[in-house]
Structure 1
Amino acid sequence: MQRIGVLVGMQSEAKLARHLYPAAIEASGATKEGAKSALKRLIAAKVTSIVSFGFAAGLDPLIKAGTILLPNVIHVRGKDYVSDPALRLKLGAEKSRIKVGALLHSDEIITASAEKQKLFVQTGCVALDMESGIVAQYCEDHKIPFAVLRVVCDSAARDLPPLACLALSHDGNLKISQMAKSLLVNPAQISGLIKLGVDAGLAYRQLNNFVHQKNMFESV
């Protein structure tokens, strides 16, 4: 039996990824260095393919929070990486409610809706995240099949509060103390945080429902 490696950004995503059994799971903490270290650990665990899993930011204005993504192309600094068709099919790419298309890699969190919409016009990518491009490059270098399974957490119209850039530690957990300090300095963020929380809750439920439909890797 093949062994699937799953890269996530946050520990909350890792909890959902445990339903993609059998799989080795590592968290990046939403940093480039963290992702590279996590991928090395997955390779050391002798995985035969890797899935980038978790949340993404919407760029296409027609895509709402909670939309499941199985992109066929990852766009990284002008180069396109094609995800493995067989692995995508195993993840449910044939389902009518799944959004395909291109996913954009970003090295930083995009907080402004105006910037998201600008990136959509420039690239045509339907969404972006901070891990999938690193996975795509790493897997090409190591000749390992990869795929991406993500859910839109914040839509193209959603502005993120500044504390979103401070939220994650390198092990993928939330930095509660830093978030609290940021709110004390700028309490106007509370409204944006609540709205983001509503969208994130919807995204989490949708991805949870999706991965609970069946044991996706039972016959891989």
Structure 2
Amino acid sequence: MTTARPTRPSKISSAPFAVFVPTRAEMKPITTALQSTRQSASRSDSMIRIAVGDRVLLLARTGVGPDHAEAAARRLFEETPIAAAVSLGVAGGLSPQAQTGDLIVGDRVILRRSSGQVLDREKGVRLESFPCDSRLQDTATTVLRRWGSRHHLGPILTVDRIVLTEEKHRLAVESGAIALDMESAAIASAASARSIPFLAVRGVLDTVDEDLAMGFDQFLDGRGEPQPLLLIRYLIGHPFTVPHMVGLGLRTKAVCARLGRLLQELSTSLS
């Protein structure tokens, strides 16, 4: 495993925060929580600009997966100066302590690709580690402690495909991570290349002993965006999965609403 140079506590400038969220289902409750502050907002198909106090937030929808996330981050970093980059969304638990609805504040993120340059020849995977910014971490955990909100500080593993329970347990041992997603470490890689402070905060959607009941990869288009019509057709043919899907939707909405409120606190605390 290669590890990027640890970041020092950063001075957060007055430039915009770049906030990366994978899907519309995750983005909507986050922006709803922010817009409840009655601040100005504007949007395009994949970008929402929201002013919270003196801080401008640029919320970019990346699509699912590390390749889409890294490409979206690099594009945004090339277009405008950025004070800090934040990865928000849902995650799968890798630790028994990480229960549904808990927030995971990353102290580092680990990128695990099953393709590309092989750095671990025995396991045939590429592993890179990126530290999260200590000031952003401290601010996030301070807010969550003040709220009395269940949260954990630890490593987040980024993978390039959806994994099932058996593999979750193996990845937990292999990486030491307490949660996994499909975007954060790829965004951290792009941020590290430009020395932009980075933080990942993810909400646990499914625990280490829980499967998502289906491979969501089959419903993604070439941009990594879920295709609702394909999912609806699947549900019509597999009605027994509908209650589970409804439950996942409610969990996603609840945890992302909390992420939106946390983002508001971060942006005002660091202004």
Give the TM-score band, short-chain normalised: 0.7 to 0.9
- 8 A contact 1:24–1:45 mirrored in 2: no
Instruction: Determine which of 35, 38, 49 is the counterpart of 2:69.
Output: 35
**How many residue pairs align between the two structures?**
216
Deviation for aligned residue 1:12: 3.2
Distance 1:201 1:13, change over 3 A: closer
Structure 2 portions without partners, runs of 5+: 1-13, 35-49, 113-126
Deviation for aligned residue 1:150: 1.3
Distance 1:123 1:28, change over 3 A: same
TM-score by length of 1: 0.85
Instruction: Determine which of 143, 153, 156 is the counterpart of 1:100.
Output: 153
Q: Residue in 1 aligned with 2:25?
A: 12
The residue identity in structure 1 corresponding to 2:23 is: M
Q: Residue in 1 aligned with 2:129?
A: 80
Aligned: 1:65 with 2:109 = no
- Report Cα offsets for 1:113-165 as digits up to 9, x if no partner: 22222221222211011111101111112221111121111111221122522
Distance 1:131 1:29, change over 3 A: same
- Identity among equivalent positions (%) equals 24
- 8 A contact 1:66–1:204 mirrored in 2: no
Deviation for aligned residue 1:201: 4.2
> Aligned to 2:76, what secondary structure does the other structure show?
helix
Q: Which has the higher strand share?
A: 2
Distance 1:207 1:3, change over 3 A: closer
Structure 1 portions without partners, runs of 5+: none
Instruction: Determine which of 232, 235, 243 is the counterpart of 1:183.
Output: 235
Aligned: 1:162 with 2:214 = yes
TM-score by length of 2: 0.70
Aligned: 1:204 with 2:256 = yes
> Aligned to 1:93, what secondary structure does the other structure show?
helix
Larger Rg: 2
The residue correspondences of 1:106-125 to structure 2 (distance < 5 A) are: 106-110=159-163, 112-125=164-177
CA distance in 1, matches of 2:15, 2:221: 31
CA distance in 2, matches of 1:41, 1:14: 19
- Report Cα offsets for 1:63-87 as digits up to 9, x if no partner: 1111011110111233321101112
